Amino acid sequence: MEMDEALRLRPGQEDLTPVQAAELERFCDERIEGFLSTAAVDEPAVEERLVHAYTAAGLPPPPRSTG
């Protein structure tokens, strides 16, 4: 996915543009909402992603949970 050019930081840029600041706030709000969510998760999908992350880092995956 390509980043919108209006969101890119420019060399020497010291302050965010209004568009960049709004996107930063949206991004943070989205992440905080996800972190605080009490919705059920797809545990097999999470375990699969963890195995992928460990493999990409060259580490052995953690043992699978038994429930």
Asked, for residue 6, whether it belongs to a domain, the answer is no
Secondary structure, 3-state, 1-67: CCCCHHHCCCCCCCCCCHHHHHHHHHHHHHHHHHHHCCCCCCHHHHHHHHHHHHHHCCCCCCCCCCC
Note the pLDDT of residue 66.
65
Task: For 2-50, write each residue's pLDDT tens digit.
Answer: 889 999 999 999 999 999 999 999 999 999 999 999 999 999 999 999 9
Asked, for residue 63, whether it belongs to a domain, the answer is no
Number of domains comprising the chain:
1
Asked, for residue 3, whether it belongs to a domain, the answer is no
Please give the Cα distance from 48 to 67 (Å, whole number): 15
Please give the Cα distance from 28 to 59 (Å, whole number): 30
Residue 33: domain span: 17-56
Note the pLDDT of residue 9.
94
How many whole angstroms from its chain centre is CA 64? 23
Asked, for residue 1, whether it belongs to a domain, the answer is no
